[in-house]
Structure 1
Amino acid sequence: MKKILLALLLGSPLLNFAQNKLSGVVTDSINQPLKGVSVFLPDVHKSAITNESGVYTLNNLPSGNVKISFSFVGYNTENKSVLLNPGENLLNITLLQSEFKMDEVVVSTVFNKLQSQNVMKVEHSNVRQLQHKGAVTLVEGIATIPGVSQISTGTSIGKPVIRGLSGNRVLVYSQGVRLENQQFGDEHGLGLNDSGVESVEVIKGPASLLYGSDALGGVLYFNPEKFAAANAFKADFGQRFFSNTLGSSTTLGLKTSTENLKFLARGNYTTQSDYAVPNGDKVTNTRYNEKDFKTGIGFSNDNYSGVLRYNFNALSLGIPEDGIAEQTNSKTPDYPRQSVYNHLLSLNNTLFFGNSKLDLDLGYISNTRNEFEENATPDLKMQLNTFNYDAKYHLPKTGKWESILGIQGMHQSNTNKASEFLIPDAVTNDIGFFGTTNYEWKSNVIQAGLRYDNRKISSDAHGITGTEGSFEAVHRSFDSFNAALGYKTNFGKPVTLRLNVASGFRAPNLAELASNGVHEGTNRYEIGNSDLKTEQNLQTDLNLEYNNDHFEFFVNGFYNFVNHYIFTSPTAEQIDGYDVFRYVQDDAALYGGEIGLHIHPHPLDWLHYETSFEMVNGKRKDGDYLPLIPANNWNNTLRGEFNLKNFADGYASLNVSHTFNQSHVGTFETESDGYTLVNLALGGKVIFGKTAFDISLNGNNIFDEKYIAHLSRLKTDGIPNIGRNIILGVNFNL
């Protein structure tokens, strides 16, 4: 039995290693070899880099069909499906030049196509590029993606918003498993640090077909950093400094790989004092400290690939209550404060069966949330433990058909361990079954799928009925059928059209079903409704793109109708001086989209101009506007790229972002004025002999504009967002 368990965890080492080999030469359009091309096999987490002759070699590969991608800056990415036979296999590739960003392999939509081949429009952003924009946190970085915003509390807490939907309506995946961390609450962030995260993919719209409940509004899929290439060792050190908060972020990482084993580890420590508004005053108790550690080990042989990863995140942050009061540079959070600990353990497995394969992802998340009002004893302590599993069987490819059958599930327990209860002790169980298929011919692709889900929630009774903090027992079961249909085609070479229709659902969360007390984040008394129905939506998305060598244009439009939208409504009552709100439901609709273009004029090959505009509107059936709808935004960036004698891959950019006023507000929301922010960036690789390091310098809100973002939770107190912030970053390969 022990040998069987060891085989499952370490990749069936009792089996013989594969002798399959794949090699080839990568050249450009005039048959010149390309050095430094990244060659990556996502199924087995293996990579290689072409040498001076453009040659790459990958050993110990499984037999059967595998996907392989070739990517190089300035060239179109090539994504191939290769049938590997026992022994040596040859695959030569020609890459064509491209003036725009590299086409990326999309992981979040299960068929692992390049974005240009994908039926769904998925936004893909490299985290290093987001950092080059001057993003302080991971959520602040993804909020620069058109269609994505954040609900913020100072600089420490950011909750993602996708086209007007947030909280439990947006699902987050990290390390290949769904992240559960009491996401219904506004008083803490994702519990994810950008260190050790390579990229993020954003599905804007219902993704319940692939992910089940809570993906009604969309998905954020964070891809961890890749392992080192075979027989390589890498170590790096990075440091960023922030002028406004007198803060710093330090990261140290190392990774090494053999032909079959892979290992990496990365640590990060971030500390920030209170942020300053444009007149120089600091917003009291917005300081925070964050520790993050990630590690992973991978193993692969002829019929198995497995990766075991672990992420620990500890965030200690102040809760601002007094506005602009005590002025200090202290980085130690004062009371009231929070301590949030998150452990994420994932095991990603792929088993190869010749022409088919099985992906099995297992995850365990332990989330501990502590709130301290006046002393070191927590007044609120919530322990959320979640085990989830996700199995997808890729059927043998039949002609132009690719199909996947899957089962997903989750077991979750919430336990209160302090005197104050925000939600009751409860157990949640999910299970879902789905099938999806992809048919591709010429430049056309059709993708369709069906899914069934069941969620059961059982909560315990607590306290004396009718008093604050008491809960009646809730036992509910929620069922949902969902479907998705998408079509993608090219009109000639430059024009791509995508049309998707999909349904999604979300079962009510514990706060909505059972709340009974003061919600400190909203400063009101909230009462749950155990009779709430499942939210069910239907969204239509249209994407049109035009691309040539020097011009890129896109327009995205969507209409999202939500049945039984859950929200809080006032009752005209008061308890202990707090207005009483109850959870109710009404149908709602959201609509809007994004439009943008990217110009790379010839012969000014070093110059890029990008502009985008995004908007979303949301209304309930009764005519009232939905709350927490982001204001319209127009974003412009002028970017130049250059190379100097001791300064390679240089860039300089000017960004002007104009956010419009928001007058379409929900009940008890306040309107917001518009504002314009100007940001500057400069960076590249400094070279002194054999020593080289990356450097970046950002000036955010360079003119120290005083503004209050519409989705800032400090808006009701009239507290402005952060003022001018100069960020200096350096990164060394050791």
Structure 2
Amino acid sequence: MKKIIITLLLGFSALLHAQSTVSGTVTNMTSQPIKGVSIYAPELHKGTTTDENGKYSLSNLPNGNVKLTFTFVGFTTVNKTIKGLQQENTLDVILEETIFQMDEVIVSTAFNKIQSQNVMKVEHETIKELQQKGTATLIEGLATIPGVSQVSTGTSIGKPVIRGLSGNRVLVYSQGVRMENQQFGDEHGLGLNDAGVESVEVIKGPASLLYGSDALGGVLYFNPEKFADANTFKANFSQKLFSNTLGSNSSLGLKTSTENWKFIARGSYNTHSDYRVSGGDRVTNTRYNETDFKTGIGYSNSSFSSVLRYNYNKLDLGIPEDGIAAQSSSKNTAFPRQGVFNHLLSLNSIIYLKDSKLDVDLGYVANDRSEFEDSDIAGLQMKLKTFNYDAKYHLPKMGKLESILGIQGMHQTNVNSGEEYLIPDATTNDFGVFGTVNYEWDNNSALQAGLRFDNRKITTEEHGTLGEEGYFKAVDKSFDSFNASLGYKTNLADDLTLRLNLASGFRAPNLAELTSNGVHEGTNRYEVGNSDLKTEQNVQSDINLEYNNSHFEFFVNGFYNHINNYIYTSPTGAVLDSNDVFNYIQDNAMLYGGEIGLHFHPHPLDWLHYETSFETVTGKKQNGDFLPLIPANNWNNTIRTEFKIKNWFETGFATLNFATTFNQQNVSGFETESNGYTLVNLGLGGTVKLGKTVFDVNLNGNNLFDKKYIAHLSRLKNDGIPNIGRNIVLGVNFNL
């Protein structure tokens, strides 16, 4: 395999034409040079920074068109497309000062625009910003984004919820590859570690046009850590300590690049004891351990760019069954427990043609999930192997019209190795074809549209004895779907932007919904599948209105989501094996709500920021009953100050956050209502300079007053087990 990859890379490097170089100077509005500006070519995974004179140079660029992004803290982001590169090109850039965060390039949408130019509203957060909030896990950090919540099992297992939809209705992408990790199970977590991840993009709404089945509710798109700038070597070490779980998170990363080649590697280890609730008791067997390793190698020249990445993730998770019982600070998981091994291999290649390009993503995911009830012999072991392919051809631009044609598919096998079966052995094949166009005019308006066809074929094997628990009949099903999207963006005024989007999405029934026949330990129910289930199909309308100037930002997002054939479980009234029997059935449903927020930076108090946001979602069946697992309304308020202490403490910040969750009384038939609560969180951090030693430090106090509460989407709620109490988090980060 290694020889094949090297041969391919060398073969493409033979296509090298005359090198193209871009150089220039970056200045501010008063023509003063800016040192340290990042210039990055996203498609080439290549970048550099300006010197003390504001000068930069990038070589070995494609002969056609290339996109460059200029970013620097405190200044607006500039996105430039250079058309028809010559051997020597000059591009001088002027950056304008701004108070608010940088305008990032959005990778998860088709045309990779910066957010201010994007037709679809996409939330973008860097992992550094999420970590500064002191959250223990990646999913906890994601849940601080308006419109995003989590279904949690203690602190170790979290599943994302986007505007009331979760599980197989939300797609997760990492390294440009669709993650498949048995996500149908309530007790199956995300399976991703934030080490080696640069940022996350959240599409809130159907994204089936670009991603096919299961993107009915939205997409979480994780961007991997960037490579080092050309001709540099960087090393990084970070350490976090958690008071509540007596936890530790350590990470070490190395990366280096030449003009053509680039390499990166990062390893991390995460270990936690049982979490402590308010009052001092620990929730038995919520401890967990995680090992994560990521590496990548890339090559680019004037006609070709390719990046090969690999991620290994190992999870050892305790499964809480006894609530608050035996008290221990041990980090060794007890029975029952889960062992999860995940391998992710991805290859992204871009071939630059004269006026167009071909973008190809190949991915392989191997997920091995075992459950150990009372011994080291796995009673349940599911091995899921998934091969993904995604090819997009960017046609030559015709005036102001951009267009893309693409194909996308997946081949997946599920094999059981244990005695217990949650789902049968199965094979799933996806194939989709799509086209999308983007038209811009007047420098402030854009229209985007697309159309797609998909087919999913699911074949399962018969298993067990007819009429008994664990019997699965053979299933051979094919699901087809046409989907479309239409979006419009315009600037109503210089500082006021309007976005309108209408899109459809779909989700084929998963294996559990089609075939279940037995007790699901994660829900304490006897679940019976339905092989006659139809495809879920939805249409969602979105409106986004944003206003921003140098001292004030305001946004309002509204949505209405209608879903035909929504799949859910319903009690039958029967009891088997001392468990209530639930059937999978379908009904039309609707979800509606939105988010509203503002960011105020008063002049002349340049050191002060106030941010507030409110989010709400309501989900109902066609008969008026409420849908399950709908997050409660939430109101978030943050006061942030920025400061500097002489020459030894720079980019300092202090935050005071009040997160209020309201009562949730809109519950489904087998849920219980939840009381509201307010958590107070405190944060302090900055960059410390002691001689030649420079490091970042963060100190966070979450749930500072040790509030006792139970989140509505906690899987431990039915047992009356509270969520985590006070947690003090200390983090340091050294660039070696």
Q: What whole-Å deviation, never above 9, does each CA across 1:331-379 have from its counterpart, x for those lacking one?
A: 0010000000100000000000021000000000000000000000000
Give the CA deviation at 1:18.
4.6
Distance 2:66 2:11 in 1: 18
Q: How does 1:484-563 map to 2 (within 5 A)?
A: 484-563=485-564
Which amino acid in 2 is paired with 1:201?
A: E
Computed over aligned residues only, the root mean square deviation of the Cα atoms, in angstroms, reads: 1.1
SS at match of 2:135: coil
Query: How big is the shift at 1:577?
Result: 1.2
CA distance in 1, matches of 2:107, 2:194: 18
Letter in 1 for 2:592: Y
What are the superposed Cα offsets for residues 364-408 of structure 1, whole Å, 9 maximum, x if unpaired?
A: 000000000000000000000000000000001110000000000
Shifted more, 68-77 versus 79-88: the winner is 79-88
Larger deviation, residues 62-71 vs 629-638: 62-71
1:343-382 counterparts in 2 under 5 A? Answer: 343-382=343-382
Aligned length: 734
SS at match of 2:519: strand
Deviations 1:125-176 (A, max 9, x none): 0001100001110110010000000000000000000000000000000001
Q: Which residue pairs with 1:13 in the alignment?
A: 13
User: Contact 1:148/1:162 (CA < 8 Å) preserved in 2?
Assistant: yes
Partner of 2:632: 631
Cα distance in 1, alignment partners of residues 319 and 703 from structure 2: 24
Q: Which letter maps to 2:153?
A: T
List per-residue Cα deviations over 1:586-613 (Å, max 9, x = no partner): 0000000000000000000111000000
Match of 1:692 among 679, 694, 698: 694
SS of 1:12's equivalent in the other structure is helix
Measure the CA separation in 2 of the matches of 1:98 and 1:398: 34
Aligned partners of 1:147 and 1:593 also within 8 Å: yes
Distance 2:248 2:401 in 1: 51
Shift of 1:16: 3.0
Code of the aligned partner of 1:487: Y
Equivalent residues of 1:616, 1:630 under 8 A apart = yes
* Secondary structure of residue in 2 paired with 1:667: coil
Tell me the distance in 1 between the aligned counterparts of 2:220 and 2:420.
Answer: 32
Aligned partner letter, 1:705 = K
Matched, 1:729 2:718: no
Q: What is the one-letter code of the residue matched to 2:653?
A: Y
Residue identity in the other structure for 1:664: N
1:8 match: secondary structure = helix
Give distance in 2, aligned partners of 1:115 and 1:633: 25
Within 1, Cα distance between the matches of 2:54 and 2:398? 33
Deviation at 1:437, TM superposition (A): 0.3
CA distance in 2, matches of 1:109, 1:617: 27
Q: How does 1:119-198 map to 2 (within 5 A)?
A: 119-198=119-198
State the 1:3 CA deviation: 8.9
Secondary structure of 2:209's aligned partner: helix
**SS of equivalent residue, structure 1 residue 64:** coil
Q: State the distance in 2 between where 1:245 and 1:510 align.
A: 35
Match of 1:671 among 667, 670, 673: 673
Task: Say which SS state the counterpart of residue 116 (structure 2) adopts.
Answer: helix
Give the direction of change, closer, same or farther, for the CA distance of 1:67–1:465 in structure 2 (3 Å limit). same
Using a 3 Å threshold, how does the CA distance of structure 1 residues 377 and 57 change in structure 2: closer, same or farther? same
Q: TM-score, normalised by structure 2?
A: 0.99
Q: Match for residue 567 of structure 1? A: 568
> Which amino acid is the alignment partner of residue 180 of structure 2?
E
Deviation at 1:559, TM superposition (A): 0.1
The 5 Å alignment of 1:287-306 reads: 287-306=287-306
Q: CA deviation at 1:13?
A: 2.5
Quote the offset at 1:86 in angstroms.
3.4
Tell me, which stretches of 5 or more residues in structure 1 are unaligned? none
Residue of structure 2 equivalent to 1:201: 201
Shift in alpha-carbon separation, 1:234–1:6, aligned structure 2, 3 A: closer
Q: Aligned ranges for residues 241-280 of structure 1 at < 5 Å?
A: 241-280=241-280
User: Post-superposition shift, 1:633?
Assistant: 0.2
Alpha-carbon distance in 2 for matches of 1:643, 1:619: 50
Alpha-carbon distance, 1:188 to partner: 2.1
Between the aligned partners of 2:576 and 2:422, the Cα distance in structure 1 is: 16
SS of residue paired to 1:439: strand
Residue in 1 that maps onto 2:57: 57
Q: TM-score scaled by structure 1?
A: 0.99
The answer to whether residue 710 in structure 2 is matched with residue 708 in structure 1 is: yes
Separation in 2, partners of 1:628, 1:336:
25
Contact 1:20 1:84 in 2 (8 A): no
Q: Distance in 2 between the 1:719 and 1:548 partners?
A: 45
Give, in angstroms, the shift of residue 187 of structure 1: 1.2
CA distance in 2, matches of 1:592, 1:249: 37
Distance 2:586 2:142 in 1: 30
Q: Counterpart of 2:316?
A: 316
**d(CA) in 2 for partners of 1:242, 1:18:** 54
Alignment match, 1:76: 76
- The alpha-carbon deviation at position 198 of structure 1 amounts to 0.5
2: CA distance between counterparts of 1:193 and 1:341? 13
Give the letter for the 2:100 counterpart: F
For residue 511 of structure 1, give the secondary structure of its aligned residue in structure 2.
helix
CA separation of 1:278 and 1:4: change in aligned 2, threshold 3 A: closer
* Paired letter, 1:578: N
For residue 486 of structure 1, report the CA deviation from its aligned partner: 0.2
One-letter amino acid of the counterpart of residue 459, structure 1: T
In the alignment, the residues of structure 1 paired with residue 468 and residue 84 of structure 2 have an alpha-carbon distance, to the nearest angstrom, of 67
Q: 2:512 aligns to what SS in structure 1?
A: helix
Secondary structure of 2:12's partner?
coil
The Cα of 1:111 is off from its aligned counterpart by: 0.5
C-alpha displacement of 1:572? 1.1
Show CA shifts across 1:559-580 (max 9, x none).
0000000001111111111111
CA distance in 1, matches of 2:185, 2:274: 22
- Paired position in structure 2 for 1:29: 29
Cα gap change, 1:532 to 1:248, in 2 (>3 Å): same
- Equivalent position amino acid for 1:702 in 2: L
Contact 1:18/1:62 (<8 A) preserved: no
Q: Is the 8 A contact 1:541 1:558 kept in 2?
A: yes
Q: Structure 2 CA distance, aligned partners of 1:61 and 1:275?
A: 51
Q: CA deviation at 1:429?
A: 0.1
Is the Cα contact below 8 Å between 1:11 and 1:304 reproduced in 2? no
Distance 2:321 2:119 in 1: 46
Q: Which amino acid aligns with 1:297?
A: I
Distance 2:419 2:349 in 1: 41
* Residue aligning to 1:618: 619
Alpha-carbon contact 2:360-2:392 (below 8 Å) kept = yes
Q: Measure how far apart 1:81 and its partner are.
A: 1.1
Distance in 2, Cα, partners of 1:400 & 1:574: 63
Query: What SS does the corresponding residue of 2:139 show, helix, strand or coil?
Result: helix
SS where residue 83 of structure 2 aligns?
strand
Distance 1:9 1:718, change over 3 A: farther
Please list, as runs of the form range in 1=range in 2, the aligned pairs for 1:213-228 lying within 5 A after superposition.
213-228=213-228
In 1, Cα distance between equivalents of 2:3 and 2:728: 55
Is the CA contact (8 Å cut-off) linking 1:318 and 1:338 kept in structure 2?
Answer: yes
> Is the CA contact 2:16–2:303 (under 8 Å) kept in the aligned structure 1?
no
Q: Distance between the aligned counterparts of 2:11 and 2:259, measured in 1?
A: 14
- 1:60 touches 1:301 (CA, 8 Å); kept in 2? yes
Aligned-partner SS, 1:152: strand
